[in-house]
A and B are shown apart, each in its own frame.
Chain A
């Protein structure tokens, strides 16, 4: 009876883990996509104003996008751990 209760408790914990991972991933993408979207909008404006600076703007945009995505992936790795924790 105790072993059965432990099994049920583990299953319940796993279910909450899946829910947490799902909601977490959604929030992560919310923040990351908003940040990178604003970054892309600003660089489009900059390239539109000064097409000859397009190369430098593109380099700076890629660096900033890489850094923002890096932070996003921290949170995503935590979500993955939540989903696969035993």
Chain B
């Protein structure tokens, strides 16, 4: 049923409930385009501020070997940079608070709670004591993803993690770090030997492509999971608000906005949860590599006796 048809049935059922001011010039409401909702989530070259918009600069496209790179500053670029500045400010100000005394005052306490949580619940159980050298990277991932997610929930903000290029970039860096952790722990030769998966040599042509594929699916899943969670959440909120425009009645906003409030609170929880899941899955995959390297070293030591 299209929007005009829905409104016709509503008009027969409760004519007094319909606000005629919501109807367009021809007595039907302007067709509610679902695609318009995506404009609020997608990247755009305009930044919305209260009472207006700022047109962001288009930088010239760079052509490299047949591929066009459009590096203009868009809304999501601004929010990625803003989140990076916020995370850096948080980290640096908390670190400075420790210079004066072992027990900090002020906001550094809250940051310490999260840092200790990441160290004791995410890094140490999954990666062991050897994983502490990767703690700075995991903390950066956690705070960065968290701040980018939360930026989408403030008015006039947009979550940069709703852009698959941003989550793709984070997944690529996580992929690199997972391989670095594995290679550093067990050496390049053993790392390549792991790719065969310990099957007899005639199964290698089947096993090696499957193992290489599985190397890539894990970060790909990280990317898609974060992107789809953020986009889906914002899409639900925007669809519920769009229902107000679809029905054009004064009865719809109270119900709809109660739902929207509930889903906004859920989105705050999902922001924290997705940051936690990204971090713990990266730590888990790194930990698998570090564990295999530890076993290899033990075998080498015991077989050398």
Contacts and interface: CB of A to CB of B under 8 A. Distances in A.
Contact of B232 (A59, A62, A76, A83): A76
B281 A73 contact: no
Chain A, interface SS category: helix
Contact of B277 (A63, A76, A83, A84): A63
Contact of A77 (B35, B38, B224, B277): B224
Nearest to B125: A59
Contacts, number: 42
B273 interface: yes
A59 B280 CA distance: 10
Given A59-B280, A84-B35, 17 more contacts: A59-B125, A62-B277, A63-B280, A66-B225, A66-B277, A66-B280, A69-B225, A69-B229, A70-B221, A70-B225, A73-B225, A73-B228, A73-B229, A73-B232, A74-B221, A74-B224, A76-B232
Contacts of A76: 228, 232
Bin the interface of chain B by size.
10 to 19
A73 B121 contact: no
B191 interface: no
B224 to A, nearest CB: 6
Contacts of A63: 277, 280-281, 284
A46 interface: no
Contacts of B32: none
A9 interface: no
B121 A59 contact: yes
Contacts of B245: none
A71 interface: yes
Nearest to B164: A77
